[in-house]
Structure 1
Amino acid sequence: MFRRTFTSTLAVALCASTAMAQDLPQANSEYFTAAQELLAERIAAENNTRPAKNVILFVADGMGVGTNYGIRLFEGQQQGMLGEEHNLPHDLFRHSALIKTYNINAQTPDSAPTAGAMNTGAKQVFNTINLDETAVFDDCSSEQPLALFSEMMSDAGRSVGFVASPSVAHATPAAVYARTANRNWFHDAPEGCRDIATQLVDQMEAGVIDVALGGGARDFAGEGVAVEKGTGRRPDGQNLLERIAGLDVQYVFDAETLAASDRSQPVIGLFANADMAYEHDRPDTEPSLTDMTIAAIEHLSTNEEGYYLMVEAGRVDHALHGGNAYRAFEDGVQFAEAIRAAQEMVDEDTLIIVTADHEHVISFQGYCGRGSSVVGLCMDISDDQIEHSGEPVLAADGLPYTVVTFGNGAGSVLIEQEDGTYSGSRPELTQEEVTDPDYLQQALIPMTSETHSGVDVALWATGPWAHLFGGTMDQETIFHVMHHAVFGAQDAAQ
């Protein structure tokens, strides 16, 4: 009876909404009708409350709301659109939230404790990974380890993997498997402490990590020792690749060996000596983030019990630190491609979460007309057409400016003088100059590396229990939703 009543009420609501639309002068607007269609979809939608078999956590390092906006326009304009009307795959997810990113002792967060919060359910200390609130940076004697979502999944018989475009020992991927008082102990650590690369091999030996794909070959071999893709940097002289070989874990090092890997066996892929290339500069021999994501899902899907996969587009963050919007957005487009590929490979039993660990001090200037290149000059609004006028907007100094600027960074307009003071003025800019992939956007405060920002980031989710995300939430809530989707819902169903 309730079901029939609900259905009837829904039908009446939809009919009333349609009738209302027909009576309004804006009824023929494509924007109005598109909103009506979306409303009807949302009214008819039902929440997925089945237990999650798989969880995929996508993290674009540094992709806050602003950076996501830039990536959206960049991809849309690459496809011949004005850009603003385009949607990234996760823009269309039904559930979203704003996420607070602060660390226990930092207003502006670091990638290590933010990623750690997502993997443990508790906030952490700046520059540390997966340790409790008593941790002291750079002091491993203070390490009090936290339990990891990856270990919980592994204990439940599920597979675990991660994909990352930086080194596999970098902060965000390390948060899936490691605990450390210093996120920079990639391949070296003080006596009595354990470096991150060694911990990865420990976790592969323990059967927690089944797939590890990214860069960082130098972190796994002794200093000066030649390995595929580079030369080792380990001061202890250990060759962790030899240890991996003894664990029956496949070692792959380029796109060809990854494609040929046995999907039924654990695998580690180290495709660069340090970080992998930006998508703009990526050689054909190096797999893309999408290639690695597809391979990881194929490997992990051989476990019928399910899996946890974390995918990080880490070089979005690196390009933003460098003040280079072009490469940040192009890596962001590759991130979107990886999400699309994953969506095609999974079903309604998979919880997909897309988010970032933090934002950057990126800014989008105005007032720009529709279709202004997001990596170009801000073009003026036209009075008689949708697209911009083709004439750049001028600032009070009489000079044009770019759509994207940074609050600080290497592109600062303030230049250090011989007496140590800073002064300067903005140079004349041309569209050809600023749309070059190597151009560094103008910034205010001079910094050798642009900084993170403490503002909220967005989260988008689809699949089992995705509706638990909403409003403004602390970052550690991500772990709790993932845990409930897999274990809480499973217990309730039994």
Structure 2
Amino acid sequence: MRPFVVALVASVAVPAIALAQLPVSASASDPYYKAGEAALARQLAVVPNTGRAKNVILFLGDGMGVSTVTAGRIYDGQLKGVDGESNSLAFEKLSYAALSKTYSHDTQVTDSAAGITAIMTGVKTRNKIIGLTGAAIGEKCETEKGNAVQTLAELAKANGKAAGAVTTTRVTHATPAGAYAHTAYRDWEGDSDMPVEALQAGCKDIARQLVEAPDALRLDVVMGGGRSRFLPEDKDGKRADGRDLTAEWLKAEGTGSAYVTTVDQLKALPADTQHVLGLFASEHLPYEVERPVLEQGVPTLAEMATTAVDVLSKNPNGYFLLVEGGKIDMGSHLGNAKRTLSETVEFSKAIEAVLAKVDLKDTLVVVTADHSHGLVISGYAPRNSPILGVSGNEGEPAIAADGKTYTTLMFATGPGGPLGSDTRADPAKEDLDDVDYHQQAVVNLPSAAHAGEDVGVFADGPQAYLLRGVVEESYIFQVMRHAFGFDGAAPAGKKR
């Protein structure tokens, strides 16, 4: 046995000798190596905050998959005139990150209704359903009874905190509705959107649920579009019941409340304002690329979000705030990467503006998406090539098998897909920077489909360190609830 032992010892010693004989490395002077050292130093300096959160802010980039984040960071950098590939969006600088599994209770690929329900309640449900368990059935009013689940916003209000929701979509749209509504169908935004049977059975439209929520649970701040769902037809609304829900909201909130419809009114809010309903468009707010033409006094997402923080911060007990970049998703549904990326950049700007106002010592900030989209980044375009341009190969435009170029960004499905025997257009002969350009797609659909891969979660503040690894989308709720100290406060269902 002795020769074997000697051989083993000798083999262990070999690596040490080899290491000692390594030549001098050029790594230390390499900029990538030095950047990596700096990044490691920053991470080593991070100390997990295990305290309780006074405030929780959830930023939801609707449809903002990993490829959208990547393309968005490149686009953002190129707009700024810096290296896009190594650029970082505001939320990518947060200390913690994870991946979220987004499947719904009944589908591999979730919609926004089921996605926000998972994040806001900890319960996965069926597509098209908001604030109800998976026992509820889409468009079946009778299945709402007994299946409602508490949202984090409702828990915050019940525990004496303020709560709000800000969006670039209608405030009755799926994601913002996820803060306060419980409905068997996401499209029941106003009474004119509902079938007679559902109304007769006692189900409420989403706008009514916002206004008629009990005083102790009603949101303090709501801002976005969707004015039509709150006003009767004689006031340019779509309500069939003749009610003016904006007036009813003001009456219910009483002293210290304000209803605003323009950015100037938003900026002129009295200092003692504690409740704000801001409806800045009849439907969704305009895309940022349309702001020069369609602004019409509409505030940016950053202006709405920072104002919401100012108003909600007046509650000494703290607050919960949901901020949605809702038109990221809508740009992708159009197969229009320029709108998608522009909205992603604006979403990042809103996060940056809010981060400048809050203290991460007592405020948990979570940034995520409800689902991904079929946007892909492919080819070998040279570094610093326009992200909206054609792909490349060793400095030359990449040529596909049909002899035509293709763009770096494409969609799996959408309006840019082929129809019948149509031949593929050559992107090199098109204006790829046109705001209405539709990236090419594999399959033609009038509206691009969501995608089912995991999405990113970025976080900082109290208990943010619990967001790591690969997690269920519904787990995000558990971390936010735990950060607030509401553990054990949310039953699986509540009576309605």
Counterpart for residue 237 of structure 1: 242
Equivalent-residue separation in structure 2 for 1:302 and 1:379 (angstroms): 53
Q: Could you tell me which of 470, 484, 489 is aligned with 1:486?
A: 484
The one-letter amino acid of 2:210's match is L
CA contact (8 A) 1:323 1:409 kept: yes
Using structure 1 for the length normalisation, give the TM-score: 0.89
Structure 1 residue 363: deviation in Å? 1.1
- Count of aligned positions: 453
Q: How does 1:327-342 map to 2 (within 5 A)?
A: 327-342=339-354
Q: Does 1:456 align with 2:454?
A: yes
* C-alpha deviation, 1:42, in angstroms: 1.6
**Mapping of 1:171-186 within 5 angstroms?**
171-186=174-189
Q: Whole-Å Cα distance in 2 between the matches of residues 406 and 253 of structure 1?
A: 36
Q: Decide whether aligned partners of structure 1 residues 80 and 22 sit closer, same or farther in structure 2, where only a CA change above 3 A counts.
A: farther
Q: Which residue of 2 aligns with 1:124?
A: 125
Question: How far does the alpha carbon of each residue in 1:320-340 deviate from its partner, in whole angstroms, 9 at most, with x for none?
Answer: 000110011101111000000
> Which of 371, 391, 402 in structure 1 is aligned with 2:407?
402
User: Normalization by structure 2: what TM-score?
Assistant: 0.88
User: Is 2:66–2:372's contact at 8 Å kept on the other side of the alignment?
Assistant: yes
Counterpart of 1:234, as a letter, is: R
Which residue of the other structure, out of 439, 442, 445, is the alignment partner of 2:437? 439
Q: Which runs of 5+ in 1 are unaligned?
A: 1-20, 382-388, 416-421
SS in structure 1 of the partner of residue 485 of structure 2: helix
What's the CA shift for 1:225?
2.1
CA, structure 1 residues 406+490, in 2 after alignment: closer, same or farther (shift >3 Å)? closer
Higher Cα Rg, which structure: 2
SS at match of 1:357: coil
Residue pairs, 1:203-214, within 5 angstroms? 203=213, 205-214=215-224
**CA 1:180–1:490: 2 relative to 1, 3 Å:** closer
Q: Give the one of 184, 204, 210 matched to 1:194.
A: 204
2:210 partner SS: helix
Q: What value does the CA root-mean-square deviation take over the aligned residues?
A: 2.0
* Post-superposition CA distance 1:209-261 (Å, at most 9, x none): 00000000000012x222xxxx2111222211221231223110010011111
Query: Partner of 2:397: helix, strand, or coil?
Result: coil
Verify the 8 A CA contact 1:377 1:431 in the aligned structure 2: no
Give me the whole-angstrom Cα distance separating, in 1, the residues matched to 2:97 and 2:214: 33
CA distance in 2, matches of 1:153, 1:102: 26
Tell me the SS of whatever aligns to 2:388: coil
List aligned pairs for 1:294-443, cutoff 5 A: 294-347=306-359, 348-381=361-394, 389=395, 391-412=396-417, 414-415=418-419, 422-430=420-428, 433-443=431-441
Matched, 1:278 2:287: yes
Q: Amino acid of the residue matched to residue 362 of structure 1?
A: L
Contact 2:158 2:216 survives alignment (8 Å): no
Amino acid at match of 1:178: A
Counterparts of 1:46 and 1:431, CA distance in 2: 53
Structure 2 contact 274–314 (Cα < 8 Å) conserved = no
Using the TM superposition, give the Cα deviation of residue 430 of structure 1 relative to its aligned residue in structure 2, in angstroms. Answer: 2.7
Contact 2:390 / 2:405 at 8 angstroms: preserved in 1?
Answer: yes
Match of 2:230 among 220, 225, 228: 220
1:22 offset after TM fit, Å?
Answer: 11
Q: CA offset at residue 367 of structure 1?
A: 1.6
Partner Cα distance (2:250, 2:95) in 1 = 44
3-state SS of the aligned residue for 2:323? Answer: strand
Matched, 1:101 2:87: no
Moved more, 21-30 or 355-364: 21-30
Secondary structure of the corresponding residue to residue 352 of structure 2: helix
Gaps of 5+ in 2: 1-21, 490-496
What amino acid is aligned across from residue 481 of structure 1 in structure 2? V
1:205 is displaced (CA, Å) by 4.0
- The reply to whether residue 253 of structure 1 matches residue 261 of structure 2 is yes
**Greater mean deviation of Cα atoms: 160-169 or 139-148:** 139-148
